[in-house]
């Protein structure tokens, strides 16, 4: 076996083409004002010994460059003249290395294929960086995330500050690129929505296959294999995150990824899995169904409650709404239902205010989705929740988890044994759409994954 396994992917996607990346860079350059941005690529990450994980590009770097090799650094330089504003440092062509790790585009390749103005070998970064940053009003760099690049940026910046009394100018501020960049990433373009539809479509198909494959006596791992086989055979890179295949009480462990148990007659199976496609857009779907094809009375009651909460929450996704309202909508339906079932006691408002439901529902109802599964972008700006607007994509994923792992809050009823071991989550990916295009104000990207009670028993 060769000692180094990873082959960088050289494909350039059909829908998100270089034109899209160039537009993003232009918008980012405008937002930067006079600050020069330093955006590093991801490094290869060791799995064990000298074997590495498959390469996963840094999402900010990918968003701006579409370049899928490790060990590169992009400079966006609004203070430089046209034709010198996009500089990329890359690993140079080197047949002796490429025969182990795959073809590289090299400095000439990135100029011809990736719209780069000027390219250099990465080894030249320490000597050239100070000159490129010279004349910028600030330096936009994410401190704390890029240990090999950070000392170079700080050294270049320190040099400028030292010389400022003599030369009269220096980048006075080190600023975070993230608020600017992540504001752009939060708002998906039509091309990005198309890619998310693709990721969600493959993910939904996998869930349908998984439900057909599940039966008492099988194993969680076999179902994981069905799902991930479909991701790969559909051309996706693989799972977007560790697939959760959780039978029975395992579903009450939110990040259960061991997938090492058998599937038991009478249990539910919770599957939280989604794929990552070639340009890193992700699906994130959860479905829960009875392994033997029939809900018990308790399972059905809780499943229908979570489904009602999720449908109400999805209906609240529209321009002008907020992620906070989506959560509040789901939470109120869940708490009202739990009060009716006797799993909670008291008045709905005070149960919510006191958080007296958190032993049964301990997470939020969703997150932004995009190049990262838990995608970037603010949920609040100071006191104000961010308003939903067309192009934003979020998950809607209420759940209920009945176990004795967490103590029952004072004043709340003890949980009868018949409810325990039931963990249910239903998760869809939802794009906010202009009301003039879609009257409901949203599009459920994962609608191909069935979720009605009768379908879960089919």
Burial class (CB in 10 A: 0-12, 13-18, 19+), 249: buried
Q: CA 306 to CA 297: how far, in whole Å?
A: 14
Helices 297-315 and 323-341, axial angle in degrees (round to 10) = 150
Q: How far apart are the two ends of the chain, measured CA to CA in Å?
A: 45
Q: Is 69 in the site for ligand GLY (CB under 6 A)?
A: no
**Binding partner of residue 365 among ligand GLY, Mn ion, none, CB cut-off 5 to 8 Å per kind:** none
Q: Is 284 a catalytic residue?
A: yes
Distance CA 268, CA 286 (A): 13
Helix (H) or strand (E) run with residue 327 in it: helix 323-341
Interhelix angle for 190-213 vs 220-233, to 10°? 140
Write down the catalytic residue from 425, 428, 433, 443.
425
Among 284, 325, 372, 375, binds ligand GLY (CB under 6 A): 284
Find the shortest distance in angstroms from Cβ 369 to ligand GLY.
9
Let me know if 455 is a catalytic residue. no
Q: Residue 168: phi, psi to the nearest 5? A: 90, -5
What's the closest the beta carbon of residue 210 comes to Mn ion, in angstroms? 14
Which of the choices Mn ion, ligand GLY, none does residue 104 contact, using the CB cut-off of 5 to 8 A by kind?
Answer: none
68 binds ligand GLY (CB under 6 A): no
CB–CB of 90/41 below 8 Å?
no
Distance of CA 248 to the CA centre of its chain: 26
Stretch that binds Mn ion, among 203-211, 222-230, 422-430, 443-451 (CB under 5 A): 422-430
Q: Residues of 344-366 as b/e, b for ≥16 C-beta within 10 angstroms?
A: bebeeeebbeeebbebbbeebbb
Told to judge if 50 belongs to the known catalytic residues of this protein, a careful annotator would answer yes
374 part of the active site: yes
Give the residue with the Cβ less far from ligand GLY, 74 or 227: 227
Would you count residue 272 as binding ligand GLY (CB under 6 A)? yes
**Whether 272 is catalytic:** yes
Query: Strands 399-402 and 422-425, how do they pair?
Result: antiparallel
Residue 228 binds which of ligand GLY, Mn ion, none (CB < 5-8 A, kind-dependent): none
Which one of ligand GLY, Mn ion, none interacts with residue 379, CB within 5 to 8 A by kind? none
**CB 223, min distance to ligand GLY, A:** 16
Which candidate in 47, 294, 374, 418 is catalytic? 374
Whether residue 363 lies in the annotated active site: yes
Of 142 and 425, which CB lies nearer to ligand GLY in the complex structure? 425
Give the Cα separation of 1 and 182 in Å (integer). Answer: 41
State the nearest-atom distance from the C-beta of 367 to ligand GLY, in Å: 6
Residue 372 sits in the site that holds ligand GLY (CB under 6 A) = no
Q: What torsion, rounded to 10 degrees, do the Cα atoms 334, 335, 338, 343 define?
A: 130
Q: Is 106 or 247 the residue whose CB approaches Mn ion more closely?
A: 247
Continuous H helices in 169-189: 178-186
Question: Number of C-alpha atoms within 13 angstroms, CB side, residue 35?
Answer: 18
Q: For residue 50, which phi and psi values (nearest 5 degrees)?
A: -105, 25
Is 383 in the active site? no
Beta pairing partners, 282: 276
Query: According to the binding rule CB under 6 A, does residue 241 interact with ligand GLY?
Result: yes
When asked if residue 284 is in the footprint of Mn ion (CB under 5 A), the reply is yes
397 flagged as catalytic? yes
375 binds ligand GLY (CB under 6 A): no
Instruction: Tell me the closest approach of the beta carbon of residue 272 to ligand GLY, in angstroms.
Output: 5
Nearest CB to Mn ion, comparing residues 104 and 207: 207
Report the alpha-carbon distance of residue 441 to residue 95 in Å, rounded: 53
Residues at the interface with Mn ion (CB under 5 A): 272, 284, 395, 427
Enumerate the active-site residues: 50, 255, 272, 284, 363, 367, 374, 397, 401, 425, 427
Residues at the interface with ligand GLY (CB under 6 A): 241, 272, 284, 367, 373, 397, 427
């Amino acid at each position: 076996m060769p000692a180094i396994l990873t082959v960088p992917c050289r494909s350039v996607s059909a829908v998100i083409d270089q034109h899209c990346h160039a537009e993003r860079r232009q918008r980012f350059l405008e937002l930067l004002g006079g600050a020069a941005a330093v955006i590093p690529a991801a490094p290869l990450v060791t799995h064990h010994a000298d074997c590495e994980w498959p390469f996963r590009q840094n999402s900010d770097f990918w968003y701006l460059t579409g370049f899928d090799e490790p060990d590169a650094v992009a400079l966006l330089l609004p203070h430089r003249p046209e034709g010198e504003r996009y500089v990329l440092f890359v690993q140079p062509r080197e047949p002796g290395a490429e025969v182990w790790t795959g073809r590289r585009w090299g400095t000439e390749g990135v100029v011809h294929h990736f719209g780069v103005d000027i390219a250099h070998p990465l080894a030249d970064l320490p000597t050239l960086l100070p000159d490129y940053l010279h004349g910028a009003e600030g330096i936009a760099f994410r401190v704390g995330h890029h240990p090999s690049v950070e000392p170079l940026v700080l050294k270049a910046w320190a040099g400028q500050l030292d010389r400022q009394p003599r030369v009269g100018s220096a980048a006075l501020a080190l600023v975070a690129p993230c608020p600017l960049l992540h504001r752009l990433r939060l708002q998906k373009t039509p091309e990005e929505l198309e890619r998310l539809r693709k990721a969600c479509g493959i993910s939904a198909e996998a869930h349908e296959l998984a439900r057909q494959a599940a039966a008492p006596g099988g194993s969680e791992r076999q179902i994981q294999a069905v799902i991930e086989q479909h991701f790969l055979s559909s051309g996706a890179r693989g799972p977007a995150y560790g697939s959760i295949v959780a039978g029975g009480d395992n579903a009450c462990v939110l990040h259960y990824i061991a997938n090492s148990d058998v599937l038991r007659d009478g249990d539910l199976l919770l599957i939280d899995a989604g794929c990552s496609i070639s340009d890193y857009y992700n699906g994130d779907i959860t479905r829960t169904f009875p392994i033997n094809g029939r809900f018990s009375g308790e399972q059905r009651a809780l499943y229908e409650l979570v489904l009602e909460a999720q449908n109400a929450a999805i209906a609240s996704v529209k321009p002008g709404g907020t992620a906070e309202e989506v959560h509040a909508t789901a939470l109120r339906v869940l708490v009202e239902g739990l009060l009716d079932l006797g799993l909670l006691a008291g008045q709905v408002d005070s149960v919510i205010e006191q958080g007296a439901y958190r032993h049964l529902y301990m997470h939020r109802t969703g997150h932004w989705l995009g190049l990262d599964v838990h995608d970037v972008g603010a949920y609040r700006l100071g006191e104000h929740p961010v308003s939903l607007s067309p192009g934003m994509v979020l998950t809607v994923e209420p759940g209920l988890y009945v176990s004795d792992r967490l103590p029952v809050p004072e004043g709340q009823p003890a949980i009868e044994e018949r409810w325990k071991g039931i963990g249910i989550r239903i998760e869809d990916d939802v794009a906010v759409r202009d009301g003039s295009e879609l009257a409901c104000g949203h599009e459920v990207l994962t609608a191909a994954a069935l979720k009605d009670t009768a379908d879960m028993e089919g």
